[in-house]
Structure 1
Amino acid sequence: MSEILLAIDMQNGFMSEKCRHIIPTVIKLIEHFLAAGKLVEFTRFINTADSNYVKLINWSRLMHEPETSIIDELQPYINNNIFDKPYYSAFTENFSSFIYLNKISKIYLCGVETDSCIFKIAIDSFERGIEPVIIEDACFSDGGQQAHDAGIFLLKRNIGKNQIKMTDKVLEKMS
């Protein structure tokens, strides 16, 4: 069984003051996973002018740097392990191939946005037979606490309440 930590969309354009409190927790997780010899991967959302984000919800951010760049605090941990994605899910062709080739059976999720990207990646993992684990205190939403809580509520309902964990419990199980 191979496990990864997936840090989702920890980018300048998503990292508002509402979300910055998760950065130390995400770093703690990354360091523990790496020390345990586990894979740590990143996703990066890149919007396009012809996307439904622009056409349907009039949202045209995260098309260019510096918005699309992974935050400075995480730069020391990036080693060509970024999966670019043009939509909520990480399951692009490249990421799906990576999952298959590395026989990934469990994905720990942290990052932003709990109510959209994290939610979608967790559901997609679940439907592919990969166990998703959402690290609740290492996730947040730019929409604020209500959006984060809504995402967690729906995740508990759709993938199981036992798939939502706190950082300390995840790290405790690793040691």
Structure 2
Amino acid sequence: MRKWLSPNLDSTTLAVVDVQVGFVNEASTHVVPVIAELLSNWQARGRASVVITYTNPEGSPYETISGWTKLRTPAEQALVPELVPLADGSSARFTKSTSSAFEVNEIEDFFRSTGTTDLVICGLDTDSCVHDTAVGAYHRSITPWIVTNACASSGGADYHEIGLRLAGRNLGGRLVTSSDVLAWPSTLQEVSQ
């Protein structure tokens, strides 16, 4: 069992990644209410949060290499309805066209300017944008915490599990549930996994 100190919540930001209509399907829809509850409770405590969405421009590597052309229309790119009112209460909103949020300079600038030392990540897809955003945080010495029950993969449970296993092995293993996160006190305490 690994043990860490829970993060200092004054320097922790919640990142909601790509919870958009075009990524929600039968394999991922179950996490939408969990994410909405987590974001709502996080904001009610006055903590920093960011909502990040994805667009897939023509000529992107997703199109030219992978042949994937989804997330092009406003309907696909729309934030799920459950998160729209909560997104308005977030500290910032960003749009990216890569899998990692850290490829957008404004996002990195935001985390630097707010003194973010820890990033709690939830959203879609665990094996792609959630994982890659966690990797980006890790390589910038921001500790990533992935909320396992508030992430899913539109590719199915196997891909979700693969994303979590890679993060657990390569990024310090800070895999937590939304209940764990909401139980974190304002002061440091030991967290076990």
Q: TM-score range by the shorter chain?
A: over 0.9
Distance in 1 between residues matched to 2:73 and 2:111, nearest whole Å:
27
CA distance in 1, matches of 2:30, 2:147: 14
Could you tell me how far 1:32 is from its partner in structure 2? 1.4
Deviation at 1:4, TM superposition (A): 1.0
Give how far 1:35 is off.
1.3
Q: Is the aligned partner of 1:137 residue 2:149?
A: yes
Aligned to 2:73: 64
What residue is the counterpart of 1:173 in the other structure? 184
Deviation at 1:174, TM superposition (A): 3.6
What is the match of residue 98 of structure 1?
A: 110
Gaps of 5+ in 1: none
Q: Give the letter aligned to residue 141 of structure 1.
A: S
Alignment gaps of 5+ in structure 2 = 1-9, 187-193
Query: 1-side partners of 2:49 and 2:24: how far apart?
Result: 20
Instruction: Using the aligned pairs only, state the percent identity.
Output: 30
Partner of 1:86: 97
The structure with higher relative contact order (CA 8 Å, sep 6+) is 2
Q: In structure 1, what is the Cα distance between the partners aligned to 2:54 and 2:44?
A: 27
Amino acid at match of 2:13: I
TM-score by length of 1: 0.96
RMSD, aligned α-carbons? 1.2
Which residue, 18, 35, 43 being the options, matches 2:44? Answer: 35
Q: How far, CA to CA, are the matches of 2:86 and 2:177 in structure 1?
A: 22
Aligned length: 174
Structure 1 segments of 4+ aligned residues over 2 angstroms from their partners:
none
Give the deviation of 1:3 after TM superposition.
Answer: 1.1
- Matching of residue 2 in structure 1 with residue 11 in structure 2: yes
- TM-score normalised to structure 2 length: 0.87
Higher mean alpha-carbon deviation, 93-102 vs 130-139, is at 93-102
Residue 155 of structure 1 is aligned with which of 136, 154, 167? 167
> What letter matches 1:31 in structure 2?
S
Aligned to 1:116: 128
